[in-house]
Structure 1
């Protein structure tokens, strides 16, 4: 694995809060190098296994996302043979509430962005050392040999929910109908959510552009969203 790719993956490791993430993103934009991954900073000696680098990740552009949630429907139609936005690998609905004090439901895990009409679709970061994989007692989360996506082996998954708790992005979700976890598998390198996005908000970004794209995205969010 090249040092360049390792550095890009370390950039994606999740800090303790979005505000801290933004702080580190600004530092990164100024050219500082992160020599220690976020994962090693916030976990104990039971470190996650380092997996092969994924081809890239899906990133949303909050400027042109309309919140139509078509990506959620397309995702589950292809991967689960049903329209079930709750288990989608793209998370638009969890940011659909209105600000800090607005209406809330049990699956809305964020503070909400729509108070100022900013809609943020959260996606899997395909972390180099995924916490979801480290937390799985069955070893059900591994790297796809072709795309490098962190995928769930449903034959091994027991629906314990450890991956759900471990992921700082709230991406893995337990399908209540089959008691199995779901997360982004990059659709064999051709993400359905990207292909079906009517505004082009969702893009599959290769590793050589991931860091720059995420820094710009977080700048937009910092300037527009409510925290």
Structure 2
């Protein structure tokens, strides 16, 4: 296998969220808990649906681990249980090291880490080993699973287009 083929196979994937499409049905939460724990429970889901209010309108917003470049959850973990997996590049929790202190829960700016009520250990999205069930079952196609390079290129193009349409007013002399 050539270098290029190997690099393509190892490219990380990310779950993207189109918040404008979410109806708040919670199918993603139930499917996640069912696939990981054979139980339908929002408390066991690795994807969370939170309600946000924007301009007086309440909307549902799915949230999951963003696998931050400089993750606060990793810095705050006293045992080293929260760490980046070198193979998948995802943030993971080594349950055997987790003491359930909730530091990572409080440190996550996205609210994506939770404590498993049965194991008293932190847990977060693991992308279902490369086949995220939440993406598969979402009836509104809110969630998508893309290679990171595709998402990065789309964001770069969007920023470039936005900056081309934005101009600062001429400075005024006082």
1:164 matched residue in structure 2? 105
**Aligned ranges 1:166-181 → 2 under 5 Å:** 166-181=107-122
Higher strand share: 2
**The structure with more radius of gyration:** 2
Return the alpha-carbon distance in structure 2 between the equivalents of residues 148 and 115 of structure 1: 38
Return the alpha-carbon distance in structure 2 between the equivalents of residues 215 and 117 of structure 1: 30
**Aligned ranges 1:28-67 → 2 under 5 Å:** 55-67=12-24
User: CA deviation digits over 1:1-58, x for unaligned, max 9?
Assistant: xxxxxxxxxxxxxxxxxxxxxxxxxxxxxxxxxxxxxxxxxxxxxxxxxxxx981321
Q: Pick from 36, 41, 44: which aligns with 1:79?
A: 36
TM-score, normalised via structure 1 length: 0.58
Given the alignment of the two structures, is residue 198 of structure 1 paired with residue 139 of structure 2, yes or no? Answer: yes
Q: Give the length in aligned residue pairs.
A: 148
Given the alignment of the two structures, is residue 186 of structure 1 paired with residue 143 of structure 2, yes or no? Answer: no
Q: Pick from 71, 75, 83: which aligns with 1:142?
A: 83
1:114 CA displacement: 9.6
TM-score, normalised via structure 2 length: 0.74
1:188 CA displacement: 0.9
What is the SS of the residue equivalent to 2:106?
helix
1:214 CA displacement: 10
Return the alpha-carbon distance in structure 1 between the equivalents of residues 157 and 19 of structure 2: 13
1:208 matched residue in structure 2? 149
Return the alpha-carbon distance in structure 2 between the equivalents of residues 138 and 116 of structure 1: 41
What is the SS of the residue equivalent to 2:39?
coil
1:196 CA displacement: 1.2
CA RMSD of aligned residues (A): 2.5
**Aligned ranges 1:92-131 → 2 under 5 Å:** 92=49, 94-95=50-51, 111-113=52-54, 115-116=56-57, 118-131=59-72
Give the unaligned 5+ runs of structure 1: 1-52, 96-110, 217-227
What is the SS of the residue equivalent to 1:127?
coil
Return the alpha-carbon distance in structure 2 between the equivalents of residues 139 and 57 of structure 1: 24
User: CA deviation digits over 1:133-176, x for unaligned, max 9?
Assistant: 11111111222343221111111111110100111111101122
